[in-house]
Amino acid sequence: MQLTLHFLFNLSLLIVLLFFGLIRAERTNNLRSVQMTAVAYFIISLLICHVFTYPLSDNILLDLRWTPIMIGGLYMGLGPLLGILTIFIRGFFGFDFGFFSTVIFYGGVTLLCWRISPWFIKRSSKQRILFSVGLTLLFGIFQSIPIEFINGPYLVLDVWLAYLIIQPLGVVMIAVIIEETDKTILLRQHVVKSKRLEAVEQMAAAISHEIRNPLTAANGFVQLLQVESMPKEKQVQYLSIIKSELKSADRIIQDYLTFSNPYIESMEQLNVHVELQDIINLLQPSADKNSVKIITTFSTIEMIEGDRQKFHQCFINIMKNSIESMPNGGILTVETESTPTNVIIRFQDTGIGMTREQLDRLGEPYYSTKGEMGTGLGITVAYSIIRAMKGTVYVDSTVGKGTMFEFTFLSSSSFNKGILENDKSVVTSI
């Protein structure tokens, strides 16, 4: 029974190695990396099988090499590669009868696996497993019969048990694990695709709703302007409202465009205080309308590298959300803080706050804390812009007390220093 126990130990190593390979593949979403992991698994498995060979006689070495050759050849079309590797390794043990039988047997088998691999992949999961086991049993018989004639019947039971029980068992176990893993991956891809489709549907509904509202309002005032006897003051008022509504629709479109392409094409130095003050001046009427008092606490002059238009778009969305979170009035504090390497921008409101679940989902595409009243694009766009500007976000919130957003950017001097260091490393490498 030594051969059977030897094969069981070898099989356990292949199973353990397979699980390590699956864990490695699980951690990457790159298809090429997954394929390279699979190729590495079959090559290493083949090497392990050759290391743990069982010397039945001086020129006959038995092992489980058929298992990785069968699975790798049928599932991935690696037959020729594994066949050449098998023949090459067997050559190190000597050019005897076993070597030449390996060349003939495994050379033919690996080419056969390679040829039928495309047909094999198109079969159902159950058919693939049954075919693998059947082929393993067939070649197990072909391997065992010559051994019986060469070494006599006293080793027949152990050899037949190893090749007709242990080897097919190994093929079944590895094939089932691969099939179940493949089903899990397909299911996960289906779930991701469904979520994306649902997100697109939500986006379409939300954006159409958000754009339709200002356009409907603008259309109504355009019709009112067609009245010939309307006073001049009313005309100016209505035109101002139309302009405001069109700006609202344009902001939704800009948010969507930025979400689709958040990358910053050109960087420039931005005076944080000047830019924030411009944003505050822009949103002051909205704050007054909601009875929100804006308090600023700026430290010394801080400069960062970024895109002015996207910087404004980001913090207009953040401050607008903060103001809207205080429907009954409140205080919005805007603070800046500087360190030797970073610039910190902090927004603290006294609004309704958010739950832990809302905080965890904040920044997800099309997730809005306003329910059906918002698109969720504002915060998502802000987060994408922050990432594009190499910044970080920290959010803390308490229901009924308010929310604090903290954004950290590299200061302009640190940013330029990093660029210079990168340039130096490039020059050094050249």
Residue with tokens 């392409």: 261
What would you report as the CA-atom Rg of the chain, rounded to the nearest whole angstrom?
Answer: 34
Confidence of residue 413 (pLDDT cuts 50, 70, 90): low
Query: What is the pLDDT confidence band of residue 396, given thresholds at 50, 70 and 90?
Result: very high
> At residue 369, does pLDDT exceed 70?
no
CATH architecture of 268-418: 2-Layer Sandwich (3.30)
pLDDT tier, 403 (very low <50, low <70, confident <90, very high otherwise): very high
Which has the higher per-residue pLDDT, 260 or 158? Answer: 158
CATH node for 200-260: 1.10.287.130
Residue 169 and residue 177 in contact, taking contact as beta carbons nearer than 8 Å: no
Residue 334 pLDDT more than 90? yes
**pLDDT score for 425:** 36
Q: Where along the chain do its domains lie?
A: 2-193, 200-260, 268-418
List residues bridging with 162 in a β-sheet: none
pTM above 0.75, yes or no: no
Q: Binning pLDDT at 50, 70 and 90, where does residue 254 land?
A: confident
CB 287 within 8 A of CB 247: no
Q: What is the mean pLDDT of residues 205-229?
A: 75
SS3 354: coil
What share of residues in the chain are helix, strand, coil (percent, to 5)?
Answer: 70, 10, 20
Read off φ and ψ for residue 316, nearest 5 degrees.
Answer: -65, -45
Q: Nearest-5° angle of CA 17, CA 136, CA 146?
A: 115
46 closest CA partner among 27, 63, 65, 20: 65
Residue 156 has φ and ψ, to the nearest 5°, of -60, -45
- pLDDT tens column, 95-138: 777 678 778 888 888 888 889 999 999 999 899 999 999 988 88
Average pLDDT along the chain: 81
- Can you give the pLDDT at residue 206? 64
- pLDDT at residue 422 in the model: 44
Answer yes or no: is pLDDT of 7 > 50. yes
Judge whether 200-260 and 268-418 match in fold. no
Question: Does 427 have pLDDT greater than 70?
Answer: no
